[in-house]
Amino acid sequence: MIAVIQRVLESYVEVDGKVVGRIGKGLNVLLGVVRGDTENDIEKLVNKIVNLRIFEDENGKMNLSVLDVKGEVLVVSQFTLAANVKKGRRPSFENAEKPERAKELYEGFVNRISQFVPAKTGVFAADMKVFILNDGPVTFIIDSKEL
């Protein structure tokens, strides 16, 4: 699994002009499910994300996690994170998990992370408009295979 984690002041997702998920202070998570990912990838990624110390403490140091600041998480499915752009000019998506399995793992990720922090979502496989007020900006890319 690949996740782009952004520390946000606010983030929300629209589908067909309607807001389907909105958070205040917390993390916007763009989540890509890669072929071969398992529930173990969910556990590793969730554990890293909820404990990652990327929020500032009273001294201005990145020393607090989303748990510490009682933040929220907005999880948006993003299959394009599994793209291969090495050859040619058109991305190849052969590394992306099949939609049925990807949806199952995406929902598993959302369920697991919501056990730690309030979580909102977009709509899997929908055409979404994602609004992100990045705080910092602070952005990280995390690959579960590297944890």
Q: How many angstroms separate the Cα of 66 from the Cα of each of 32, 56, 143?
A: 21, 10, 19
Of the chain, the end-to-end C-alpha distance in Å amounts to 11
Angle value at C-alpha 73, between 72 and 79, nearest 5 degrees: 170
Query: Could you say which of 6, 55, 79, 121 is catalytic?
Result: 79
Cβ pair 23, 66 in contact under 8 A: no
Query: Could you say which of 55, 78, 109, 121 is catalytic?
Result: 78
Catalytic status, residue 121 = no
Among 140, 131, 136, smallest CA distance to 24 is for: 131
Catalytic status, residue 6 = no
- Active-site residues, by number, are 78-80
